[in-house]
Amino acid sequence: MSQDCATRYPLVLVPGMLGFIRLVLYPYWYGIIAALRRGGAVVIAVQVSPLNSSEVRGEQLLARIEQILRETGAQKVNLIGHSQGSLTARYAAAQRPDLVASVTSVAGPNHGSELADYLQKHYPADSAKGRLLGVLLRVIGAVMGLLDTGYRGPKLPVDIPASHHSLTTEGVALFNQRYPQGLPDTWGGQGPDEVNGVRYYSWSGTLQPGKTDRGGNLFDGTNRSCRLFAKTFVREAGHCDGMVGRYSSHLGTVIGDDFPMDHFDIVNQSLGLVGKGAQPLRLFVEHAARLKAAGV
């Protein structure tokens, strides 16, 4: 077995909003865990509340990290978060930097999501449309919870308004005031490589005609959703993955912010049906080698 991905500390994968470990037999991190393990990495996918604030999710993650350290004997973990999972990982690292070697944000809304802003404006929680959306999300979350065969812990709390607010520009701005570690000083810049002994990295994608609308995405409904969601973007119009803007994703060392991938392609969804030339598995494998070279 190759040891190219054999990092010093375990890789802990943190899902985004409405995330899961495995729905019956279908994994959130499609093909990614297997690719990393072939390279010798210790990889653990975790579950946190699919619909809640980044802080609540972060506290759940901290409890899970402590359990992983007891089980593996490791001193720290490397956190890799997708979407809201990146904010969740950032919270955990800010609270307990002694337990975290690195945080990697994959398409993370580190300055908020314009899609969340649009929904807040047009589907406010106290409106009929907002309440209907809330019911729909609650039902989806409940069904996914029943189908998640990868999680065996206690029932996780749901707070839809807190979940939504945690992803808006306003909500993330408040979050960033409390937990600024790894953030760039200037819009579109890179953040510090290391803060309080924790290394920070990020990468993200953008919708690109001729690439992200070709290949497997011709058959992937989530790509059509991302193209629809992209119409809500103003500040980063034409520079988003459908849910997160290119520059909003920046954290720490920016490995890349314009890979030809939508918000789901970047974690090899759905069923590995990704756009033309997209190689999400390669990004994760190369990053594990990067972490190994950094000694973490």
Given 241, 257, 262, 265, the catalytic residue: 241
| Burial group, residue 18, by CB count within 10 angstroms (0-12, 13-18, 19+) | middle
Distance CA 116, CA 167 (A): 6
Is 117 annotated as catalytic? no
Given 54, 83, 202, 249, the catalytic residue: 83
Is 263 annotated as catalytic? yes
Rg (the chain; Cα; Å) = 18
Distance CA 246, CA 258 (A): 7
Residue 195, beta-bridge partner list: 198
How far is Cα of residue 202 from the mean position of the Cα atoms in its chain? 10
User: What is the DSSP code (8-state) at residue 253?
Assistant: E
The answer to whether 130 and 123 are in contact (CB under 8 A) is yes
Q: Side-chain half-sphere of 124: how many Cα atoms within 13 Å?
A: 3
SS3 label, residue 3:
coil
Q: What is the DSSP string of 41-76?
A: --EEE----SSS-HHHHHHHHHHHHHHHHHHH--S-
Given 111, 263, 265, 270, the catalytic residue: 263
Only one residue has tokens 């390669």, namely 282
Is 163 annotated as catalytic? no
Helix or strand (DSSP H, E) at 10: none
Which residues does the annotation mark as catalytic? 83, 241, 263
